[in-house]
Amino acid sequence: MSLSPQDLKQLFRRLLLIRRFEEEAFRLAVAGKFSNYHGGMGQEAIPVGVCYGLKPTDNTMITHRGLGVLLTRGVPVGEIFAGLYAKESCPTRGRHPIFHMAAPELGILAGTTMVGSVIPLATGAALAARIQGKPDVTISFFGDGSVNRGDFHEGVNLGAVRKLPIVYFCENNFYAKSMPLEASTAGGSIIARAQGYGLPSELVDGNDVVAVYEATQRAVARARAGEGPTFIECLTYRWTPHSTAGDREFSRTAEELASWKAKCPILRLRKQLIEAGHASAEELDAVDIDIQREVAEGVEFAEAAPYAAPEVALENVYV
Amino acid sequence: MARMSYAQALNEAHRIAMHDDPRVFVLGEDIGVYGGIYRVTKGLQAEFGEQRVLDTPISEIAITGAAVGAALVGSRPILEIGFVDFVGTCWDQVFNQAAKFSYMTDGRASVPLVIRMACGAGLGYGVHHSQSLEAWFTHVPGLKVVMPATPADAKGLLLAAIDDPNPVIFLEHKFLYEVKDEVPDGRYTVPLGKAWMAREGADVTIVSWSGAVPWALKAAEQAAAEGIECEVLDLRSLVPLDEDAIVASVEKTGRLIVCHEACTTGGFGAEVIARVVTRAFDFLDAEPLRVAAPDIPVPNSLPLEAVYLGTRERLLEAVRGIVS
């Protein structure tokens, strides 16, 4: 459970991979290379902290900002870029936006476009694990924008009442698209809702990858031991707009954004690693150069990849 | 062979499927201890346990989504939603989620799920418990749509639906639950997409399904007394559709009437007629007709509901008219 210096360096690498990916994806979308990008820059500690300790058979269901989960669980960078370009060389073959792709062999059961619709689906995956007698745990990711949907309330209630092996994981970045939390969510607290369903819950600093990892591990252990769901609310902030399609900025202030950039999860871990003597600045810079090369190669792969042939549009409607 | 009701035949299909395949489980509201509104799941919880026969909260979004999620990881759920009218509450999970996974994932994920729902009028249940909404489902690629009309088909089609790797919408007509007939013993399947020639005849083809099949057979019997021989085709499933059987019958009779209980506008009758006009126009001796409900919600009182169900009486008139 406790993280070694080697683990911390692995976490650093994963965080930085997502950041460099996010930066490049945002840049390419703005440049018109593909139609849209729903970035999660600034929130990298959550997918990394959650997924780092999972078993490959544990299931995750993702949100619009789930590309960090794909990267952390092992989907190649080039395939994800190919997905953004809607090319054939990605798991959806251009049939469906990459934000919601599935990779069942990596424990990624998919996401859905409808905010919060994954919560009942993830609950069902956990129900099936129980019925099948498997030790698998399901992580249901969702944002603060989901908690006013019926899917949230019905799904969490069902998971709670049946004590299913699931972690309900809320990434609270304080804005649902442009809607601030206080204007959308009565009662002023998301975690209070989980407590209303009788769920053990934790409020976690979502920009602290180690804290996210540890909270997840506690929740997963509870689920695996048959003790039922845990609700985790991580506080974080999205540096980029909801998407690159026309809604670049809204009500939040430059000061607010700057205050969260000061809490960058990557700089924070980098500082820890250096101060503890686990890594030198040069070593971490070398990691960065390596990652930037990996990202650039991923873009090249996607640019060169073909679109699927027209007949692919007609296939797989039914199994 | 045993004589049993449509509801009992469905119950037997559940029991066989659960016995044969440990992946099959059943969930829904009041289906366990109580045995379901129509007693279709009666006794299953006692026989197979609470882990495989789950009584759920009244949470159609959660239980439909959960059934889809369970199917994604290798289970084979059978979900009961008491009335098709309730599907609006969980429609996103049906048409955006269940129906799309195979396509989205290039066939790497599938949703082997059966959603059973009661449809149809005739019992005075009013606007929210009586509708026939099959056309909605046929408009969503990725869903199969099955509507048995007899006890034997109810059993064989349900077993086929459970075996199918795709999401299947299984619509049971609530007026048929107590209808009894001979049902074969043991496991058998009736393939999806294969229509049943319920009656042969040379003059008029009546295409129908579900609760309208008995109406068609009755009208055919009355017409025969007047010297008009009707061929009655029960489609059994709308998706997949046995277009060949429809076309073959129309090529023989030259006259087509589609009779369904649902409202006329946007009903599946329009689709049947469009297919026949496209493939067998030259064989038609008269313009095809659809005999279906007026475009109204289903009223509550039996005299008012009879207005909605006037299709039954109008069918014989339509048969007389199309041959004259």
Residues B29 and B145 in one domain: yes
A25 in any annotated domain: yes
Task: Extract the runs of DSSP E, i.e. beta strands, from A130-260.
Answer: 138-143, 166-172, 175-176, 179-180, 201-205, 230-235
Would you state the pLDDT for residue A246?
Answer: 64
> Is A102 a domain residue?
no
DSSP code, position B308: H
Distances (CA, A) of A148 to A115, A154, A177, A217, A251: 10, 11, 14, 27, 20
Other C-beta atoms within 10 Å of B113: how many? 30
For residue B270, the domain's CATH number is 3.40.50.920
Q: Per the CB < 8 Å rule, is B51 touching A109?
A: no
Please report, for the domain that includes residue A46, its CATH number. 3.40.50.970
Q: Nearest-CA distance from A297 to chain B in Å?
A: 24
Say if B17 falls within a structural domain.
yes
**Please, which residues bridge with residue B117 across strands?**
B81, B171
Question: How many beta carbons lie within 10 A of that of residue B163, not counting itself?
Answer: 17
Residues B95 and B244 in one domain: no
Residue B129 appears among annotated catalytic residues: yes
By the 8 A CB rule, do B236 and B195 touch?
yes
In a domain, B191, yes or no: no
Q: Report yes or no: B65 and A124 within 8 Å, Cβ to Cβ.
A: yes
The SS3 assignment for A206 reads: coil
- Report which secondary-structure segment, H or E, holds A21: helix A5-30
Number of domains in chain B: 2
B296 belongs to a structural domain: yes
Structural domain total, chain A: 1
Looking at every residue in chain B, the average pLDDT score rounds to 97
Q: Is A70 within a domain?
A: no
Q: Kindly state whether residue A317 falls inside one of the protein's structural domains.
A: no
Is the Cβ of A290 closer than 8 Å to some Cβ of chain B? no
Tell whether omega for the bond before B22 is within 30 degrees of 0, i.e. cis.
Answer: no
- Are residue B262 and residue B123 in the same domain, yes or no? no
Cβ-defined contact of A120 to B64 (cutoff 8 Å): yes
Q: What string of pLDDT tens digits covers the 324 residues of chain B?
A: 999 999 999 999 999 999 999 999 999 999 999 999 999 999 999 999 999 999 999 999 999 999 999 999 999 999 999 999 999 999 999 999 999 999 999 999 999 999 999 999 999 999 999 999 999 999 999 999 999 999 999 999 999 999 999 999 999 999 999 999 999 999 999 999 999 999 999 999 999 999 999 999 999 999 999 999 999 999 999 999 999 999 999 999 999 999 999 999 999 999 999 999 999 999 999 999 999 999 999 999 999 999 999 988 899 999 999 998
| Partners of residue B72 in chain A, C-beta under 8 Å | 104, 109-110, 121, 124-125
Is residue A107 included in any domain, yes or no? no
Can you give the pLDDT at residue A247?
A: 60
Domain end residue (candidates: B183, B211, B230): B183
Domain boundary residue, one of B159, B183, B207 = B183
Length of chain A: 319
A157 in contact with B at a CB cutoff of 8 Å? yes
Task: Return the pLDDT at A248.
Answer: 57
Full residue range of the structural domain in which residue B8 is found: 2-183
Whether B190 maps to a domain, the answer reads no
- B77 with B169, same domain: the answer is yes
Distances (CA, A) of B126 to B82, B120, B129, B176: 15, 10, 6, 17
State whether B221 and B109 are in the same domain: no
* Domain final residue pick, B183, B212, B236: B183
| Preferred mutation among B29, B61, B163 to probe A, highest tally of A CBs within 10 A | B61
Q: Over pLDDT 90: what percentage of chain A?
A: 82
B8: tokens are 């009992």
Q: Report yes or no on B189 lying in a domain.
A: no
Q: B258 and B131 in one domain?
A: no
Specify if A169 maps to a domain: yes
The answer to whether residues B12 and B153 belong to one domain is yes
A38 has pLDDT over 90: no
- Are B7 and B95 in the same domain? yes
Q: Is residue B188 part of a domain?
A: no
Both B227 and B287 in one domain: the answer is yes
Task: Report the b/e string of B278-304 with b at 16+ CB within 10 A.
Answer: eebeeebeeebbbbbbeeeebbeeeee
Contact B96 A117 (CB under 8 A): yes
Is residue B145 in a domain? Answer: yes
Give how far the C-alpha of residue B288 lies from the chain's centroid of Cα atoms, to the nearest Å: 23
What is the residue range of A123's domain?
Answer: 5-54+114-300
Output the DSSP codes for A122-133.
Answer: HHHHHHHHHHHT
Res A242: pLDDT: 85
Distance from CA of A95 to the nearest CA of B (A): 6
Residues B65 and B149 in one domain: yes
CB distance B108 to A91 below 8 Å: yes
Is A231 inside a domain boundary? yes
- Compute the average pLDDT of residues A122-136: 97
Distance CA A94, CA A96 (A): 6
Residue B111's CATH number? 3.40.50.970
* Annotated catalytic residue within B14, B129, B173, B260: B129
For residues B172 and B255, membership in a common domain is answered with no
- The residue type at A96: H
Answer yes or no: do B146 and B208 share one domain.
no
CB B106 to CB A95 under 8 A? Answer: yes
Rounded Cα gap, residues B107 and A318, in angstroms: 8
What's the rounded mean pLDDT across residues A88-111?
A: 87
Which residues of chain B lie closer than 8 angstroms to A119, CB-CB?
65
